[in-house]
């Protein structure tokens, strides 16, 4: 074998999976920092005088920043390349986590969460696009599942922190956020490791024109198909029902279901914990049988009743949480990889950026809406019924998610189909 053939062979599966693991650690740190507010939400209210609307704003301001940076951040990704950009945005995430841990002022904490949004979402878009580049035509859905598993381990760790870091919570709200700042270092260290792997790969493997997909091109928005926009609509309704619920879930479980902080955190962790294991398995299943729109319909059906069940205590809490956990595992395992089949590769970075941007608009509005609803209806341990109006808002989003999944299924079984229902690992070229 001559020198040229050595330098242009394809990377081994082990190398590809090493890339996935290393870059996913950045998302682990990001997810932990994002979810670190929920376990201390009631402490922020009792110790610092925050309202539920204030707590919702800590999440909403993140999403507002994400919208802004997703419109502008693609310029940096295009100009500097994926590696430099992810290091930059990862460093912003780390600084944001530190800022949130050292202040007692709401406005400064809001600045920290705003900076977190500026760094996190471009980081996630770059990671998502990189996975599509490395795994399309191979084990794409499974790879996305493993990536989400590692990322959601960060959410699980945050939810379980009242248990494994119980002494930190005994001292108040600040120590848990200091722990979050420490784990937030992964946001910058992992991209550095990924950059080393990319540098090695460019010298030793034939990677094609990989960086062409990491661009946000505004004009490409008008070229996307109806299937893409149905996926985007499903994305925004689904995540607007899930993430804002998790923002207040621990507080809700403590005050409405009379749980301890440790138990409430453990119940909240069921969603990402179930997804850690089930999302890769659903990804494998979908890779083999197709029927992606049909699976998304099934996930939306599972989501619809859970909030009413929790609001009125119609069943043991484990029942709606289990249904939500399945939906939280199933829909993302199908939804994000589906975009790689609907959108051509050169527009993939734009597609993921648009999808994430619209998602964050919905999540920002819903976090504020639910926080405001809780304040207006005086949701508290003394008045748990005040949570009910917000739960009906979440239920409405579940019905909308089903509607968009049905429209996607109809589009993908018609003449304009992209193969979401038919492409499998045996049929794909």
Here the CATH number for the domain that contains residue 403 is: 1.20.1250.20
What single-letter DSSP state applies at residue 108?
A: H
pLDDT digits (tens, 9 = 90+) for 231-260: 999 999 999 999 999 889 999 999 999 999
Give a yes or no: residue 422 inside a domain.
Answer: no
Assess whether pLDDT exceeds 70 at residue 4: no
Give a yes or no: residue 2 inside a domain.
Answer: no
Give a yes or no: residue 312 inside a domain.
Answer: yes
Give a yes or no: residue 424 inside a domain.
Answer: no
Q: What is the mean pLDDT of residues 131-154?
A: 76
The predicted structure's pLDDT at residue 360: 83
- d(Cα 346, Cα 398) in Å, to the nearest integer? 32
Structural domain range at position 171: 11-412
pTM for the whole structure: 0.75
The predicted structure's pLDDT at residue 3: 42
> Which 3-state string (H, E, C) describes 264-308?
HHHHHCHHHHHHHHHHHHHHHHHHHHCCHHHHHHHHHHHHCCHHH
Assess whether pLDDT exceeds 80 at residue 154: yes
For residue 387, CA distances in Å to 56, 136, 170, 179, 318 come to: 14, 43, 27, 30, 19
Q: What is the mean pLDDT of residues 106-119?
A: 93
Q: How confident is the model at residue 402 (pLDDT cuts 50, 70, 90)?
A: very high
Assess whether pLDDT exceeds 70 at residue 6: no
pLDDT digits (tens, 9 = 90+) for 61-73: 998 888 888 766 6
Q: What is the mean pLDDT of residues 74-94?
A: 78
- d(Cα 198, Cα 212) in Å, to the nearest integer? 15
Give a yes or no: residue 170 inside a domain.
Answer: yes
The predicted structure's pLDDT at residue 419: 76
Give a yes or no: residue 177 inside a domain.
Answer: yes
Q: Give the list of residues 6+ apart from residue 292 with CB closer than 8 angstroms, or none.
A: 286, 334, 338, 412, 420, 421
Give a yes or no: residue 253 inside a domain.
Answer: yes
Between 281 and 314, the more confident residue is 314
Q: Give the list of residues 6+ apart from residue 170 with CB closer than 8 angstroms, or none.
A: none
The predicted structure's pLDDT at residue 78: 57
Q: What is the mean pLDDT of residues 173-183?
A: 93
Q: What is the mean pLDDT of residues 159-180?
A: 92
The predicted structure's pLDDT at residue 2: 43
Highest mean pLDDT among 205-214, 345-354, 382-391: 382-391
Q: What domain count does the chain have? A: 1
Give a yes or no: residue 274 inside a domain.
Answer: yes
For the record, the structure tokens of 300 come out as: 């939306």
- d(Cα 168, Cα 165) in Å, to the nearest integer? 6
pLDDT digits (tens, 9 = 90+) for 15-74: 888 888 998 999 999 999 999 998 999 899 888 889 999 998 998 899 888 888 876 665
What single-letter DSSP state applies at residue 224?
A: -
């Amino acid at each position: 074998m001559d020198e040229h053939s050595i330098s242009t062979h394809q990377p081994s599966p082990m190398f590809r999976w090493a890339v996935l693991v290393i870059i996913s650690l950045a998302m682990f740190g990001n997810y932990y920092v994002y979810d670190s507010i929920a376990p201390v939400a009631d402490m922020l209210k009792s110790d610092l005088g925050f309202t539920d609307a204030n707590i919702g704003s800590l999440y909403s301001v993140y999403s507002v920043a994400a919208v802004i940076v997703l419109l502008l951040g693609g310029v940096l990704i295009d100009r500097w390349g994926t590696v430099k950009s992810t290091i930059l945005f990862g460093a912003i995430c780390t600084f944001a986590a530190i800022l949130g841990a050292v202040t007692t002022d709401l406005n400064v904490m809001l600045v920290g969460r705003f900076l977190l949004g500026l760094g996190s979402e471009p980081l996630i878009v770059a990671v998502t696009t990189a996975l599509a580049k490395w795994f399309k035509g191979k084990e794409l859905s499974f790879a996305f599942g493993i990536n989400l598993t590692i990322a959601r381990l960060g959410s699980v760790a945050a939810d379980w922190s009242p248990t494994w870091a119980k002494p930190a919570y005994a001292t108040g709200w600040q120590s848990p956020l200091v722990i979050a700042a420490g784990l937030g270092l992964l946001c910058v260290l992992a991209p550095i490791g990924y950059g080393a792997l990319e540098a090695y790969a460019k010298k030793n493997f034939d990677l094609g024109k990989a960086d062409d997909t990491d661009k946000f091109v505004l004009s490409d928005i008008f070229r996307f198909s109806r299937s893409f926009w149905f996926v985007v609509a499903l994305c925004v309704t689904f995540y607007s029902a899930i993430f804002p619920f998790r923002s207040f879930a621990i507080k809700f479980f403590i005050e409405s279901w009379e749980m301890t902080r440790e138990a409430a955190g453990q119940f909240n962790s069921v969603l990402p914990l179930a997804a850690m294991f089930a999302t890769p398995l659903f990804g494998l299943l979908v890779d083999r049988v197709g029927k992606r729109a049909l699976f998304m319909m099934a996930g939306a059906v599972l989501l619809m009743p859970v909030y009413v069940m929790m609001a009125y205590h119609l069943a043991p809490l484990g029942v709606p949480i289990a249904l939500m956990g399945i939906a939280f595992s199933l829909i993302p395992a199908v939804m994000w990889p589906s975009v790689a089949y609907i959108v051509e590769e050169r527009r993939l970075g734009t597609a993921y950026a648009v999808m994430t941007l619209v998602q964050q608009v919905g999540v920002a509005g819903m976090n504020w809406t639910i926080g405001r609803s809780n304040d207006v209806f005086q949701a508290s341990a003394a008045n748990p019924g005040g949570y009910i109006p917000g739960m009906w808002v979440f239920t409405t989003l579940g019905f909308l998610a089903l509607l968009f999944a049905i429209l996607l299924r109809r589009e993908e079984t018609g003449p304009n189909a992209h193969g979401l229902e038919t492409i499998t690992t045996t049929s794909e070229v």
